[in-house]
């Protein structure tokens, strides 16, 4: 019922709200270059349907509990091995699928999960556990905290815990970013995950949570990145690792074009 | 050479602050922001530098929070840790 209603809501917004189409067009023009306007409209509908489904699914989980949807963690043994190295684990993800569900599936690793995210009261993407007034299955590191949360992040890794960072969008301004090509044009992405890995010796796992064909959610380990220790202060030293991440993201969006939810122009310098 | 002076030289060399001389660094100026001009990610570098040059691992980041206020505070922290070792 909710999914049927969603179809009509998304159709309305796609057809009659140009601002909605514009927000999705930045990515879609890059993902499907040369598309004619009619196909672009269809792409916009599918992309908006994708984000709509994740919002509905999150609500379902919040109301009906964790058994109401299938959640699977692919690569659990691989992640466990990385954690057993005892240097913490940096998980780099992106605005794909449903990250809140990913956080839930990480509980299978029996290790404290920490998420770098800036929270405002009334955020649309609050975790479904929070909506229910329950404790979320992760701890938040606030980038607006002391020194951007950097010391807290180091502490997390020194404790052997998991630190999740969005690798496709920087929190506030261009400082701490490097420029790499994504879908044919330069974008600015944070290099902090790789710098933290270099300082602590922690491995980096690139993970993408996505909605699979069965309607359940899977957390996929797309790549393991090893950053040499003590690479130093220069942002330039971390570009190869940001490129590795973006390469994995390009692969993901080529396979799941309607599960990438960065609704702003990543390719402009004005963000 | 005392810890403070040694620290200034290390910061200039390891953080590539070649435009500065040790005497340009005010003992009590903030390390981050308007003082020495370091940014938040440089805190990661500072932790590594302290371990590399002084053999001190900052395990409790609350300690780091106080120590990273200025060169004076950081040098005092290093001296305390070395004395306790």
Looking at the domain A71-255, which fold is it? Glycerol-3-phosphate (1)-acyltransferase (3.40.1130)
Nearest CA in chain A to B40: A147
Angle, to 10 degrees, between the axis of helix B42-54 and the axis of helix B71-84?
A: 40
Task: Tell me the two tokens of residue A108.
Answer: 């299978």
Q: Give me the number of domains chain B comprises.
A: 1
Residues in chain B within 8 Å Cβ distance of A154: 43-44, 47, 61
Q: Residue B85 has what pLDDT?
A: 79
CB contact B13 to A (< 8 Å): no
Mutate to test the interface with B, among A143, A147, A194 (most CBs of B within 10 A): A147
DSSP single-letter state for residue A181: E
- Complex confidence, ipTM: 0.83
Chain A residues 223-252 within an 8 A CB cutoff of chain B: 230, 232-234
Note whether B18 contacts A: Cβ–Cβ < 8 A: no
* Percent composition of chain A: helix, strand, coil (DSSP 3-state, to 5): 45, 20, 35
User: Does residue B32 sit in helix, strand or coil?
Assistant: strand
Is residue B35 very low, low, confident or very high in pLDDT (cuts 50, 70, 90)? confident
pLDDT band at B36 (very low <50, low <70, confident <90, very high): confident
Chain B: residue whose CA lies nearest to A159: B59
Region B11-35 average pLDDT: 89
Chain A residues inside the 8 Å CB shell of B46: none
**CA pair distance A170, A191, nearest whole angstrom:** 9
- What is the Cα–Cα distance from A261 to B2, expressed in whole angstroms? 54
Task: Flag if A196 and B44 touch (Cβ within 8 Å).
Answer: yes
- Which pLDDT does position A62 carry in this prediction? 74
pLDDT of res. B4? 93
Cβ distance of A147 and B32 shorter than 8 Å: yes
Would you say A189 and A167 are in contact if contact means Cβ atoms under 8 Å apart? yes
A141's CB contacts (< 8 A; 6+ apart) are: A114, A115, A116, A117, A149, A152, A153, A156, A163
Q: In sequence order, which residues have a C-beta less than 8 Å from that of residue A240 and are 6 or more positions away?
A: none
- Residue B39 above 80 pLDDT? yes
Note the pLDDT of residue A121. Answer: 53
Q: pTM (2 decimals)?
A: 0.89
- What CATH number corresponds to the domain at position B59? 1.10.1200.10
Q: How far is CA A113 from CA A65, A67, A220, B34, in A?
A: 20, 21, 17, 34
Is B61's CB within 8 Å of A152's CB?
yes
Q: Contact, A199 vs B44, CB < 8 A?
A: yes
The CA distance from B33 to the nearest CA of chain A, in Å, is: 10
Domain hosting B75: range is: 3-84
The pLDDT score that the predictor gives to residue B3 is 93
pLDDT by residue (tens digit) across B43-57?
A: 888 988 999 999 998
CB pairs under 8 A between A and B: 48
Q: Do B44 and A199 touch (CB under 8 A)?
A: yes
Domains of chain A by residue range: 2-66, 71-255
3-state secondary structure A17-63: CHHHHHHHHHHHHHHCCCCCHHHHHHHHHHHHHHHHHHHHHHHHHHH
pLDDT at position A2 is 80
B8 confidence band (pLDDT: 50, 70, 90):
very high
Report which DSSP code applies to A97.
S
Q: Cβ B44–A175 below 8 Å, yes or no?
A: no
Contact (CB<8Å) B52/A230: yes
- For residue A161, the SS3 value is coil
Q: Within 10 A of A179 (CB to CB), how many other CB atoms are there?
A: 14
Looking at residues B33-37, what average pLDDT do you find?
Answer: 82
Task: For residue range A166-176, list pLDDT tens digits in order.
Answer: 999 876 666 78
Q: Are A248 and A223 in contact (CB under 8 A)?
A: yes
Does B32 lie at the interface with A, CB-CB under 8 angstroms?
yes
Report how far Cα A63 is from the mean position of its chain's Cα atoms: 23
Would you state the pLDDT for residue A247?
Answer: 98
> CB–CB of A158/A252 below 8 Å?
no
Give A178's strand partners.
A189
Pairing of strands A204-211, A177-182: unpaired
The confidence score (pLDDT) of residue A90 equals 97
Contact A176 B41 (CB under 8 A): yes
Residue B34 is predicted with a pLDDT of 80
Q: State the pLDDT at residue A173.
A: 61
Question: d(Cα A42, Cα A29) in Å, to the nearest integer?
Answer: 13
| Contact by Cβ (8 Å): A40, A33 | no
Q: Do B68 and A232 touch (CB under 8 A)?
A: no
Cα–Cα distance, A153 to A150 (Å, whole number): 5
How confident is the model over B73-79, as a mean pLDDT? 95
Which three-class secondary structure state does DSSP give residue A140? Answer: strand
What pLDDT does A270 receive?
52
Parts of chain A with a pLDDT under 50: 271
The pLDDT of residue A129: 55
Closest partner CB to A155 (pick from B15, B48, B61)? B61
């Amino acid at each position: 019922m909710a999914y049927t209603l969603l179809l009509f809501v998304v159709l309305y917004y796609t057809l009659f709200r140009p601002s909605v189409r514009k927000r999705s067009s930045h990515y879609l023009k890059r993902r499907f270059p040369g598309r004619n306007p009619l196909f672009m409209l269809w792409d916009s509908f599918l992309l908006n349907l994708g984000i709509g489904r994740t919002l509905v699914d999150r609500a379902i989980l919040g109301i009906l509990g964790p058994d109401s949807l299938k959640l699977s963690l692919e690569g659990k043994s691989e992640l466990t091995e990385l954690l057993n190295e005892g240097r913490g684990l940096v998980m780099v993800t992106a605005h794909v699928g449903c990250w809140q569900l990913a956080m839930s599936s990480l509980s299978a690793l029996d290790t404290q999960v920490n998420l770098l995210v800036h929270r405002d009261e009334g955020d649309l993407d609050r975790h479904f556990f929070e909506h229910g007034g329950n404790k979320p299955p992760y701890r938040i590191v606030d980038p607006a905290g002391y020194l951007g949360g950097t010391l807290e992040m180091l502490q997390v890794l020194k404790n052997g815990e998991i630190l999740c960072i969005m690798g496709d969008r920087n929190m506030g301004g261009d400082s701490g970013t490097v420029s790499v090509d994504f879908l044919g044009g330069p974008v600015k992405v944070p290099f902090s995950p790789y710098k933290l890995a270099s300082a602590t010796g922690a491995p980096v796992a690139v993970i993408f949570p996505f909605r699979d064909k069965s309607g359940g959610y899977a957390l996929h380990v797309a790549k393991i990145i090893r950053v040499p220790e003590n690479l130093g202060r220069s942002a330039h030293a971390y570009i190869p690792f940001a490129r590795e991440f973006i390469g994995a993201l390009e692969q993901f969006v080529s396979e799941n074009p309607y599960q990438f939810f960065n609704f702003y122009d990543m390719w402009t310098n004005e963000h | 050479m005392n810890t403070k002076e040694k620290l200034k030289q290390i910061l200039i060399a390891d953080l590539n602050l070649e435009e500065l001389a040790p005497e340009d660094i005010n003992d009590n100026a903030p390390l981050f922001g308007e003082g020495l001009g370091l940014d938040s990610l440089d805190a990661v570098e500072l932790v590594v530098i302290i371990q590399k040059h002084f053999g001190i691992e900052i395990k409790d980041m609350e300690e780091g929070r106080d120590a990273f206020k200025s060169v004076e505070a950081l040098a005092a922290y290093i001296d305390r840790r070395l004395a306790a070792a």
